[in-house]
Structure formats: structure tokens, C-alpha cells
Amino acid sequence: MQAVQRRVLWVAILASFVAFLDGAIVNVALPAMTRELGGGITTQQWVVDAYLLALGSLILIAGSLSDTFGRVRILRAGLFIFGAASLACALAPTALLLIVSRGVQGAGAALLVPSSLALITSTFSGAAQGKAIGSWTAWTGTAFLAGPLVGGLLVDLATWRWIFAINVLPIAATLFFLKGLTLPVSVPAPPVPALTHDGGTPSAAPPPSVTAARRTQRIDMIGAVLAAVGLAGTVFALIEQERLGWGSVAVWLPFAAGVVALGAFLWWEHRTPAPMMPLGLFRIRNFGMGNVATTFIYAALSLGQLMVVLFLQEIAGFTAAQAGLASLPVAVISLVLAGPFGTMAGKHGPRLFMAAGPVVAAGGYALMATAAEPFNFWLQILPGQLVFAVGLSITVAPLTAAILGAVPKEQSGIGSAINNAVARVAGLIAVALAGVMLGGVLDHESFRRIMVITAVLFLAGGLASALGISNAAARRVRDAAS
């Protein structure tokens, strides 16, 4: 691996690490937050979903910004926004201000993830790309899964506010590695060939004024607003309907407006010449079916891990640190196995891994569905967590490599953004529906129900992969190397 590749990989890992760490570290601190600020399960849902809502709404336009203005520039802006919002969360005196600050955090994270992955896909290729994505997946996945341990220790030993304040450390490290790293803008909007006066060779690149105009055209603000309104309206209704009921105008009106806005978003993306979500990418087999699999897998991941952490604290009586410690074996397994599975998928193709991994993960949640009184963590939760960790390690790197390997390199930013948007929105909707699936109360019976639902979602992701993913790209790379 070349020096610049190694540096790019560390930048990509650190930038995504801070976003994923914050997304996961919050879960274990939710009971402590509501004890201090009030609001119960509704506040807990909003603290999680405000972040996911902003992330899912803005990550698409962030991908366009990354492709247009350059990975490094957008990455740096995201780091500053995320850092400022983290400090606001740490100092928030009320639940409302905490939720608003979490939304700003999500906006910063939206600038981080697609830019970091696009750095990898534009710097590495072939099997090396699969290995790099595997390393990225291992470290960022560890942040996502080990976050509860870090959060639990901070909650028990200090205060939940420190889970946000510590973000300045990985942000500072990322900015250090970014210093002096200059990469070219991947591809501005492709120039339209202009024939010479004799109808022959296309003219040279357009003048700077034309290029600047085309860059401006690539920023799909209408699409961004429609996506944000659509997601905000539907998610607000799904969370608040349990408290207010579907008959309330404060529920059905935002829901109706959100559905209309989402429909308008799809219509606009089909119509506009510079969409932030090019629908044509979904006609690429691995990209389209990979995102279908992503929907099920990340809905299961977000729902299942959140419920395990809450169950251990609120029902089983674990402290925040103990609940976080319970996730450590999952983090270790992910760190050790994700890289090798990413490498194997780069050589042999992603289909088998994407089909088998979710099935193994589903088996883990089926084991956790046996939880009952008297509760025994070692027999009822830990075996399932270990099986789930292996399944997740088999799945994630091949899934990411298959989707991003299917799109042209010049569209790697928007391809990464779309996939991340699908993943975050899937988690967003799953968490928003958590109250409905729980029946309003978290106990042994509702926990078992959630575990079964999570297992079914993983199985659906594996089935979508088995039916839809192709190994053709990996075969072409292998044939070219031989």
C-alpha cells in the first residue's frame, strides 16, 4: 500500500468513525438522559431519530457536494459542523435543545460518510479496494458496536454529556491527517462535447465560468428540501402517533405531507437534469439489489442493537457500563473478521457472503428471542450476540464493496451517499416504529417480539442478496489479472 493510500485510508476511517461512534454511543446513555431531562421513550426515540433524520435527509446532497467540490473540502466542513454540534449537545439544558443539536450533528455526519468512502473508491481498485473497504468496515463497524461500552463507562463514571464532548478527539486526529492532503475534484459535471466549426473533433474543456455554472446546477436543492420534508413528516407521525393517536391532526397531517413530499421527490429526481439521487443508478443490478438488501439489513441492525441495550438496562437491571460491556465481544469479532471477509469478497464475488451473512445474523437474534425470566445473560443473550457478530462480519464489507464497485468512479460520492442514505433511513424508520412494535412497553415478551422481527428482517436481506447480487464484476477483475 502506497503512503498516500495509507493516509487516505486513515482519513476515511477516522472521519466515518466519529459519525458511527456518535450514532451508537448514544443508545446506552438514553436512560440517563431521560432521567435528567425527562420525556421517556418519546425523547429517547427523538434523540436517536433527530440524528438519523438529518443524516438520511442530507447525505444525498452531500454526495453531490463531494463529487462537485472535492472530497477533502466537504470532509473538512463536515468535521467542523459535527464538532460544534457535539459541544452543543454536551451543554444542552433541555431535551428540546439536545434534540435540535443532535439534528445538526446529523447534518455534519452527512458530509463525512460519503466523502470518506468516496476517497477509498477513487484511490483503490480491484482486490485492494475490497481489502480497504474491509478495513474501513472493521474499524467503523467497531465504532458502531463498541460505542455502547464507551458510552456506558462515561455515563457511570462521569455524566452522559461526556459522550458528546469526547468527539473532539477523533475530529482533531482526522483534521491532522487531512492537513496538506490535496486530491483533485473527481469529476465535475461532464462537459457536453461541442463540435468545431467543421463538425470535427470536440472542443477543449469549457471555460471556468461554464464549469462553475455546471457545478451550481449539480446541487439539487429542490430534491434536498423534498427529501427532508418527506422524511421529517413521516417520521414525526410514526413517533408521535403512539402518544397522540392517528386521529390527531398533528399526526395525520405531517404524515400525509411527508408521503406527498416523498412522492414529489421521486418525480423530481426523475425529471431534473442534475438529480442528487440519479434513479438510473438503480438499474445497475448490484447497486439496485444491494440497496434493497441494505434496507432490510440496516433496519434490523439499528432496531435490534438498540433494543438489546435498552433491555439490558431497563429490564435486566444492568448498569450503563455493564450494558456497554456486553457489546464488546461483537466489536472484537467485527474488527478481526470484517477485513478478511472483505478481501475474500473482492476475490470471489460478494453474492455468497451477502446471502449467508444475514442468515447467520438472523440466527443470532433467534437465539436472543429465548430471553425469559429468570434472566441469564450468559445463556440467553451472549451466544446470540456472538453468532450475530459473525454474521455481520460476513455481510457488511462485501455489501459495501458490491454496491460501490457497481457505480462509475466519478459517481462514487453519490453512490456512497445513496447507500448510506438507504441504510440510515431504514434505521430511522425502524426506530420510529419501535414503540408500535413494543406495544408501548418494554418487557420480556415485547423484547422477544422485537428479536423475532429483527431476525426476519435479516433473513429478508439475505434473500434479496441471494436472488439479486451478481459476481460478474469480480469475475472480470479475476480474468483481467490472470
Q: How many CA atoms lie within 13 A of 127 on its CB side?
A: 12
Grid cell in block for residue 421: 442514505
| pLDDT the model gives residue 184 | 45
Tell me the chain's radius of gyration from C-alpha atoms: 22
Distances (CA, A) of 258 to 220, 221, 235, 253: 19, 17, 8, 8
Tell me how far apart the alpha carbons of residues 379 and 362 are, in angstroms, rounded to a whole number: 17
In which residue ranges of the chain is pLDDT below 70? 1, 141-142, 144-145, 180-218, 413, 473-482
Closest CA to 50 of 96, 111, 10, 91: 96
**What contacts 184, CB < 8 A, 6 or more positions away?**
70
pTM score, two decimals? 0.80
Torsion of CA 85, 132, 301, 38, to 10 degrees: -20
Is residue 107 within 8 Å of 185, Cβ to Cβ? Answer: no
Q: Are 126 and 404 in contact (CB under 8 A)?
A: no
Residue among 24, 51, 43, 34 at smallest CA distance from 150: 24
All residues at 6 or more sequence positions from 208 whose CB lies less than 8 Å from its CB, including other chains: none
Q: Are 42 and 106 in contact (CB under 8 A)?
A: no
Who's near 51: CB < 8 A, 6+ residues apart? 22, 23, 26, 102, 103, 105, 106, 109
Q: Please, are residues 375 and 166 in contact by the beta-carbon 8 Å criterion?
A: no
Cβ proximity of 312 and 326 under 8 Å: yes
Q: Tell whether the torsion through CA atoms of 341, 415, 120 and 61 is positive or negative.
A: negative
* DSSP result, 452-481: HHHHHHHHHHHHHHHHH---HHHHHHHHHH
Cα separation of the two ends of the chain: 21
Residue 101, CB half-sphere, CA atoms under 13 Å: how many?
A: 20
Q: What DSSP element (H or E) covers 408?
A: none
Distance CA 482, CA 476 (A): 10
pLDDT of residue 193: 33
| d(C-alpha 355, C-alpha 432), whole Å | 27
Q: What pLDDT does 141 receive?
A: 67
pLDDT in tens, 20-58: 888 778 989 999 999 999 988 889 989 999 998 888 888
Q: Are the C-beta atoms of 63 and 414 separated by less than 8 Å?
A: yes
> C-alpha angle 135/381/457, rounded to 5°?
65
Would you say how long the chain is, in residues?
482
Please answer whether residues 36 and 202 qualify as being in contact, where contact means their C-beta atoms are separated by less than 8 angstroms.
no
Cα dihedral across residues 87, 432, 39, 323: positive or negative: negative
Coil, strand, or helix at residue 440? coil
- Give the three cell numbers for residue 6: 495509507
Q: Output the pLDDT for position 214.
A: 39
In the chain, the amino acid numbered 371 is: A
pLDDT for 408 equals 84
Strands (E), 87-162: none
The CATH architecture assigned to 3-182+276-476 reads Up-down Bundle (1.20)
Measured distance CA(296)–CA(338) in Å, rounded: 20
Asked if residue 354 lies in contact with residue 469, where contact means CB atoms within 8 angstroms, the answer is: yes
Residue with cell 461500552: 149
Task: Match 453468532 to its residue by C-alpha cell.
Answer: 387
